[in-house]
Structure 1
Amino acid sequence: MAAEVDAQLVAAAVGVAQQRGQAVADVPLTAIAKAAGISRSTLLRRLNGTRAALDEAIRAAGIDPGGRPPVRERAIEAAGYLISERGLGAVTLDAVAEAADCSLPSLHSIFQGRDGLLAAVFDRFSPVLDVEALAMTPPDRIEDTIHEIYQALITAFGQEPRVMPALFADVLARPTGPARQVLEQATPRMLHSIERLLAAEMQAGRLRQLPLPLLIQLMIGPLVLHMLLRPVLETSIGRQLPTVEESCQVFTAAFLRSVAAQSPTPDATHPSAQT
């Protein structure tokens, strides 16, 4: 179902395009989200994971969003859908060139090969950019920080094309396959950003002093598994399944309870404890 695009998003897209002197279709979603005062992941959720709905809303407002997107944008979008539909192993530069209606030399020139293209696809459809932006300007409260990280993960795993589930499926099916290389290259960036967010809380004494790799696994593991299984759960148990936002709140509260620094237990022999 097509997303209903808020008029404020249309105005933000048109305004930033005018400021940059570009067609709306050429303006990155990151810039549109900034102009609208929201995060990129929030913008993607409102557009159901694709900017096509925004382009249609702009046309409906009587404005031409512009011609065909640049080759880079078409290639990333095409590769994302190929990964979602066929798996990472089937995505070749030839297949992407055909799907994006561009030449093979142009892909080599823009991305310097398949690895460069896959890295760009991962940046576009993974939560890395959103988590990096969050690490630059974190919320004041740890509850909001964890919630925002979860929202970025929810967007990445729930949007179309379903690149992240396809990557995880490939890693689980073929541990030495191509998805492993993609994740090995990109995951450290995300973990570094999460480490920056959590280390401050540990230093302030609000989180337990746990090994950071395990702390991060405790945080993202349950939600990632939930988002991977959610399409099946929605079919099998239907209304018993909480909404995505309700699930996000539950996971946030559960993580904070499990890793919150424990207050010192009063000494039963101390006079102040015997009241």
Structure 2
Amino acid sequence: MRSTAIADMRPVLLTTLLALAGSIQGAQAAPQNLPVPGGVAVVPLNAPKGQAPKARLGDAPVAVIQERGRWLALVGIPLDTPAGELPLTVESGGNTGFVPISVRDKTYPVQRLTVRNPRHVNPNPDDEVRIARETSVLTQAKRHFSAAAPQTDFQLPAQGRLSSRFGLRRFFNGEPRNPHNGLDVAVGTGTPIHAPAAGTVLNTGNYFFTGNTVFLDHGQGLITAYMHLSRIDVREGDRIAQGQQLGAAGATGRVTGPHLHWAVFLNGTAVEPEAFLAPKR
């Protein structure tokens, strides 16, 4: 039914093609096209000259960037999205239509971890009050949307072994918990953490699960976060250049040891950080 409704929409708003994985060649700014749960769909858009189209997934605005004369929508696909068709709403020239995104299935591996502090697995009532308060703040940061055009050619924020990949289905002390929503870099306490791209410090704080944390706003709903830090070197509102130090790695919050947890959010959903890194040759 959904496919028929999309095909029958009149007028035809845009000649829009969903890029297949790897079809965007020579791209410098755009992330890799990964139309899977937890991935990023890179959707080329045709729009009238000089008019930037707008896009949204459900109620969430979606990043639209211009690269080499093309408009591209960068769509974060939630981890719980089933394989199938996902409708992207696109507005241009006063018209609105839907573009289908074909989401491929992906199964992530299981990871089992032992956490020393049992309250980080089963919080007590006081912890639950704190977690609820902090969840509201963190959710707001993840869903923040600003008009600035983002820099999307990222650098790894810390040099080290990639110890836990995005999307792992996690068990803490034998109990199932939410999937891993970031990329862990195995570095020691005190290791400098650098901004992967230019942005503005959106939020800093010490939180129950993530410890000392920094959020960067890169624009258009592209948000990054740096968690479990031993030290924070920036303040909310600071304008940050690519490569600038944000703080130092540590073991604060729910951890099994010192490391950097790096998270990337698009249109309010956690996505694969490695999609924004240049592929290794």
Q: Which is greater in Rg?
A: 1
Q: TM-score when scaled to structure 2?
A: 0.23
Higher strand proportion:
2
Higher helix proportion:
1
Q: TM-score when scaled to structure 1?
A: 0.23
